[in-house]
Every structure is written in structure tokens, then in C-alpha cells.
Amino acid sequence: MALEADVLAAFPAEVQVPAQLVADAVAASAAPSPRILVVLDDDPTGTQSVAKLPVLTRWDVEDFGWAFTHVVGNGLEPAVYVLTNTRSLDPAEAAARNEEIVRNALAAAPAAGVRVGFVSRSDSTLRGHYPLETDVIAATVAAETGDATDGVVIVPAFPDAGRVTIGGVHYMRGDSGALTPVAETEFAKDATFGFANSEMAKYVEEKSQGRFAASDVIVLDLNIIRAGAAAADPAISAKAIADAIESATDSTPIVADIVTENDFRLLALGLEEAERRGKKLLYRVGPPFVRGRVGQEIRAALSGEEAFEGNTPSTAGGLIVVGSHVGLTTRQLNVLTAEHSSARIIEIDVEKLLADDAEGDAYIGAVVADVVEALHEGDVIVHTSRLLIKSDDAAASLQIARTVSAAVVAVVNRTLKTFPPRFVIAKGGITSSDVAAHGLEIRHAIVRGPMLPGIVSLWEPVDGPAKGIPYIVFAGNVGNDDSLAQVTRKLSTKF
């Protein structure tokens, strides 16, 4: 297991790049008409690195019209997140959803006077429908506009959460600075989206089943990203990146090394230059890419007071919903329950949910009654039983996950309409998505910013029964053991 400092020793030092330099380049390219990135987010946790932009859980043409108008009219960042939740869908469903979203975004753009680009946001540990989703986006753009995609830029890095790409290899960074190739982590053993390769070019070959050979993947390593290091000149890096992409055609995969925020900004400048030269690019990325790509400053973590700013907090307790089963989530849940002694803990028994429908519904009703009663006194932690019930069959595993998520959604929705909580925290990707779209019936929201530096997002619902209730989107695989307790402590009056 190598140390990050040792691996980085073979590459140039990072180049300092002000976010404003990128923002100015983006603004210059938007001079004829505003260009907005439509981010198809395969679960809601992709918003954790950004602030001050709209997020949609529905994607009718009218929804895009609202979002585009909101961006242009309110000076928001030039990106819109669309909660596709495709990581919980089978391939055919995921493909259909991507196609529908792209068609509707393109249809809404002319009336709003904007141009659109597309980002496929997925997991920083490489789980998801790749290359299916970028294939569908590229095919739909070509069918609707006639524009062929030259390159698909793959940037899974998420340094805030310890995911970095160096020398074309994707790693997880431990607390000591030790780097573990991501294929050697629990995430690579995912029942639905498992993989065997940490070297990104080989990962592309593996996932594309040989359609893209590893040798055909363009790798933008740190020698290219940081080409301007000696002269401390970002323009040299931008040119090197654009030059390296010049040969891309017919959706050539392009992999980028990223270790720091400055690397994201250098990459953004290079992509701007490549697109200025005429390259048509799609992006398959982890959470922080969009922040770097549009030149957004890193937003400081919100305080408890800022989380409720502009709204009157409820006197009820808060609702913390935990669905993720990764080891980190279980440790975070254990710390929260140990430290938050006044919180009521209610466990949803997964085995009871998987019984017949009538018994399952009656059980959900009993859970809701317990949650509502407890919210009158303080915070409530609702979690699924920690024994993960799964199948060796990928489709069956997804179906079990959907059944459990549907139950969690029902508990949240019935609780909201009976006794609205002070705040809602949802832990886990699928859990967060389903709680947002169906549990809280959020259609449109504004991403206010992170609750912890770069990793946990706060949405403000702007319509529906949850309007004004802070909604915290908390990925299953980020933070340290105390992170869930830290966020709850900020929002609670009972902790």
C-alpha cells in the first residue's frame, strides 16, 4: 500500500488557479447565449460539492424551463442537477430515463434562450451504469441536434472524500495518507456494479466489454494537467490538455488525473480550450467536477443558523433516516445513537417488509405512529435493520433494495403529512433520492451548500409539502465516524 506523497513524487507540483479565472473563461464562452450544464445525477449525493444552483426531481420540459429561467434570472451557477436515481434502476430503465431527460432539456433550452451541455454524474468509487449512460446521452444529442460526441471525459475523483486519480489509477486515501486501489475496496464488490480494475483505462475496457480498448483511452495524467507547473502558468496546462484531447473522436474515453481543487480548475480551463477549438465533449464524473468546471469557489460549511435562514423552524424534533448499509454508515449510526441519548431510535425490520403486502403495510403504519409520537418529544432516528439481505442475482438485489426504500419513503411521507419534522436527514444514495422525490414530494429545490466541508448537501425545497424544511442529502460512503452526529448536532435543538 503506497503513500500518496510517494506516488505524487513522480509528478509536478500543483499549479495554483483562482476559481475566478475559470469562471471568467466560462463567462466568455457564454457570451452569445448562456450555456448551462445539465447534470444527470444518478443519485442525489452529487450536489454535495456545489451551492447556489437548482435541483430537479422531475424533468418535464416545464421543469427545465423553471430551472433555466431561475439560473439566468437569479444569477445562479450555470448548472442544473436532475435527480435521475438511475443507480437504482435496471439498464433498460436507466437508458430510457437518460434519453427522456436529454430530449426534454434540449426542448426547453430555446425558449429560455440558453445552450446546454451534459454531465453524467456518478459514483466516485466507480459504481453505476457505465458506459450505458454516456452512450445514451451521446446518441440522444446526436439524434436531436446532429452533433456527434468526440470524447467522454471520465473524472471520478472526489478529493474531499479521499478519492484521487494519479497516473491513471483511481485510489481511496486512508487517514494516514495510504492509497488503496479502488478495486481492492468494498465498493468494487458491489452486487450490481462490481468491477475488477483500478487502472482507469482497463476499467473502461472492462465495463465496455472491449468496445474501447485500454490502449485507445486518452489519459490526462498529472504531467499533462500540471504542465504549467514550472512556469506557474495555468495557460500552459490548458493548452497541453486541449492538445492531448485533439485526437478524440466518436466518444473516445478520456481519463483525467485529479488530486486537488487546483487540478479540477486546470482541467476546466483545458476543456474550455478544447471546446473552443470545436471539440464536442460529454462528462462522466464524481461530485466536485461541476464545481471546478464552472469556476465556483468552495463553499464553507453551513452553520445551523444558515441552514434555517429565511424559514421559521418547526418546534418538532428532526427526522434522521438511515438506509445505507456500507460499513461507514453503520459506524456513523452507532456514534450518533451513542452520543444523542435523547433521540428515539426506531428500527425498520427488513424481514417484515419482505413478507406479504398486507402484513408489510400494517407494519409500516405502526412504524409511522411511533415516529410521529416520538417527534413531539425530540429527534427520531429511523434506520433499517443492519443485516443486509441480498441475493447473488443483481436484479433480485435491486428489487430488495427497492422494497426497503419504498417502505422508508412511506414512513417519511406519512410522517410529513401528519406532523412535519424540524429537519430531515437521509443517509444513503438511493434512500436520499427516494426520500426527496417521493417521501418529501420535492419537485424543485435550491442547493444551499454543504453541511460538512465538500461532502454533505443541504437542499431547500421551494414547493410541495416540505417547502422550507432543510433536507440533508448524506451519501453512504463519505465522512468519518462522527460525521452524522456532527450534522445532526448543527440542526437539532435537543442534542
Arithmetic mean of pLDDT, 214-231: 97
pLDDT of 359 > 90? The answer is no
pLDDT at 398: 65
- CATH of span 305-491: 3.40.980.20
Q: Which part of the chain has CATH 3.40.980.20?
A: 305-491
Cα(479)–Cα(475) distance, integer angstroms: 9
Arithmetic mean of pLDDT, 191-218: 97
Q: Residue 82 corresponds to which cell in the numbers above?
A: 436532475
pLDDT of 96 > 70? The answer is yes
**Burial (CB count <10 Å: 0-12, 13-18, 19+), residue 209:** exposed
pLDDT at 475: 85
DSSP string of 414-431, one letter each residue:
HHHHHS--S-EEEESHHH
Cα(34)–Cα(76) distance, integer angstroms: 12
Cα(279)–Cα(272) distance, integer angstroms: 9
pLDDT in tens, 157-185: 999 889 999 999 999 998 888 999 999 99
pLDDT at 389: 53
- Give the count of beta carbons closer than 10 Å to the beta carbon of residue 418: 12
Nearest to 343 by CA among 381, 392, 369: 381
Its pTM surpasses 0.75 = yes
Cα(265)–Cα(293) distance, integer angstroms: 7
pLDDT in tens, 435-477: 999 999 999 999 999 999 988 999 999 999 999 999 999 988 8
pLDDT in tens, 409-436: 999 999 999 999 999 999 987 788 889 9
**Chain length of the chain:** 495
133-151: b or e for each residue (b if 16 or more CB lie within 10 Å)? Answer: bbbbbbbbbeeeeeeebbb
pLDDT at 352: 81
pLDDT at 407: 86
pLDDT at 387: 58
Backbone torsion region of residue 170, taken as left when φ is above 0, otherwise alpha when ψ lies between -120 and 50, otherwise beta: beta
Q: Residue 30 corresponds to which cell in the numbers above?
A: 457564454
pLDDT > 90: percent of the chain: 80
* Sheet strand arrangement including 178-181: 2-3, 178-181, 169-173, 163-166
Q: Which part of the chain has CATH 3.40.50.10840?
A: 2-294
In the 8-state DSSP scheme, what is residue 438?
I
**Burial (CB count <10 Å: 0-12, 13-18, 19+), residue 240:** buried
What is the chain's mean pLDDT, rounded? 93
Q: Residue 14 corresponds to which cell in the numbers above?
A: 500543483
Report yes or no: 170 and 154 within 8 Å, Cβ to Cβ. no
pLDDT in tens, 375-412: 999 999 998 775 555 556 666 666 777 777 788 899 99
Report yes or no: 456 and 446 within 8 Å, Cβ to Cβ. no
Arithmetic mean of pLDDT, 303-323: 93
261 in helix, strand or coil?
A: helix
Arithmetic mean of pLDDT, 180-194: 94
Q: Which band of pLDDT confidence, cut at 50, 70 and 90, is reported for residue 208?
A: very high
Q: How far apart are the two ends of the chain, measured CA to CA in Å?
A: 40
Q: Residue 318 corresponds to which cell in the numbers above?
A: 428532526
Query: Which of 3.40.50.10840, 3.40.50.10490, 1.10.287.1770, 3.40.640.10 would CATH assign to domain 2-294?
Result: 3.40.50.10840
pLDDT at 386: 54
Cα(102)–Cα(82) distance, integer angstroms: 10
Type of residue numbered 373: E
Helix (H) or strand (E) holding 166: strand 163-166
pLDDT of 141 > 90? The answer is yes
pLDDT in tens, 23-78: 999 999 888 889 999 999 998 788 989 999 999 999 999 999 999 999 999 989 99
Report yes or no: 367 and 382 within 8 Å, Cβ to Cβ. yes
